[in-house]
Amino acid sequence: MKITNPPAKEVSFTFEEKGRATDSLARTGAFTTPHGVIPTPAFMPVGTRASVKGLQPAELRAIGTTMLLANTYHLALRPGAEVVRELGGLHRFMGWDGPILTDSGGYQVFSLGHLSATDEDGVTLRSIVDGSPLRLEPEGVVDLQLDLGGDVIMAFDHCPSDPTDRAGVEASTQRTQRWLERCVRHFRERGGTDRGQALFGIVQGGVFEDLRRASVEASVSHDLAGYAIGGVSVGEDRASMRAALAHSAPYLPADRPRYLMGIGQPIDFFDAIEKGVDLFDCVTPTRHGRNHQAFTSLGRLNLRNRRFRTDDSPLDPDCDCVTCTHHSRGYLRHLATSGEMLAAILLTLHNVRFFHRLFEDFREAIQAGSMQPLRARIVRAQG
């Protein structure tokens, strides 16, 4: 069956702040893209290979997903960005008609450091599929993402291997700035905006205030549609991560969305939202679901635990997802311990819905001026 999605509307990328907390920089807003409007703060499930593992697009939409993330490095390996382009771009390829963000592959340069070699022009990685070399340079990364056709594409950055090593962080931050200049130039030469796509820059700087501020200034000078904060949650402690946020987020333009990359725990979301961050992504809800771990209003649960063997109660009594309204903990444990794939599917669906409900709570609390009671609830349940 051929999938036909409605064409994207001809609209520009805009961000409108809707409300602000009285005791922090937390804010609600609306990020408008050609494929829809995202109420912020918002969480983006990760569809690494053009698929959020275990969930269909219609299910994602039904549980509150407004925007997805896909991974440029993995899609460049399989099936190839040119294949995705020939099959109509990511929206048609995935059967998802909402907004999509594609990351640049910069995180894979960090996480697959043992398979990569970085120089001034770019990075050469060995393919995790067959070991063949894959060359990533700023212009080529932009081309890959233009072919993939996501709404938001990310500049190619260099994430430092140790965010506390000043010499290394300074070198990677300056390289990120030089690569951003090349990305911006190439994006504009290729007419990225006319294609209905927007380029976001990425701020680096590790745990160092002066480097973060310099990176913000360099990124903002390009007048892009939005900005991301990179290089956090890469081995530093929580206090250092909070400091990096404090040195970055409040200094980014108020009329553009601010995106924190790869953060995955509820309390970290709260801390970042209080600094004015709007968009988030991580693999936490899907990865935990595949490992039979559930986020609930009562805390995190391991569904393989024997204590759930005869438990007839819902997974989370406060949740409205199909998993919680139709199945018991005892049944979910049975699926998990029997090796049934349905266990991972149902727990993934619940976890993603839990994250979306949490962000609904964030938006409501910001408008109501009740962020601190929400924080206390998160700490009690999630630690």
- Tell me the catalytic residues: 103, 281
Q: Where are the alpha helices (DSSP H) in 149-232?
A: 166-189, 209-220
- Residue 130 neighbours by CB distance under 10 Å: 8
Q: Please report, for residues 160, 261, 262, 264, 297, the alpha-carbon distance to residue 233 in angstroms, rounded to integers and kept in the order given.
A: 12, 9, 7, 9, 24
Could you tell me how far CA 110 lies from the centroid of its own chain? 16
| CA pair distance 162, 56, nearest whole angstrom | 37
Query: In Å, how far from its chain's centre is CA 141?
Result: 18
In this structure, what are the phi and psi dihedrals at residue 191, rounded to the nearest 5 degrees? Answer: 70, 40
Backbone angles phi, psi at 201, to 5 degrees: -90, 165
State the angle between helix axes of 166-189 and 209-220 in degrees (0 to 180), rounded to the nearest 10: 10
Structure tokens at 180: 């951003």
